[in-house]
Amino acid sequence: MRRAKVTGTRSHHAHIFRHTLATTAVRSGVGLTELAQLLRHKDPNTTRIYAKFDIEALRSLSRPWAGAVL
């Protein structure tokens, strides 16, 4: 982190880079199965945490609430 001159983070772990890579990949359209393979996650639920960050893509999957005024 020091050599890369990354500042302003609370922790200096490789997790920051993995998280950034995963979030960027999901926003770019990479599927969670492929992302799990890239990150070497054994449990698909571990990878699913990254789906919550792509709010716009999740909105496209949602349906209107029953009885909602459009």
Q: What is the pLDDT of residues 31-40, one digit of tens each?
A: 889 999 998 9
Q: What sign does the CA torsion over 51, 31, 22, 45 have?
A: positive
Residue extents of the structural domains in the chain: 14-57
Interval 18-69: pLDDT, tens: 888 888 888 888 888 999 999 899 998 888 877 666 667 667 777 777 776 6
Nearest alpha-carbon partner for 37 in 53, 24, 20, 25: 25
Residue 27 neighbours by CB under 8 Å, 6+ apart = 53, 54, 57
CA 60 vs CA 9, 48, 63: distances in Å: 32, 17, 8
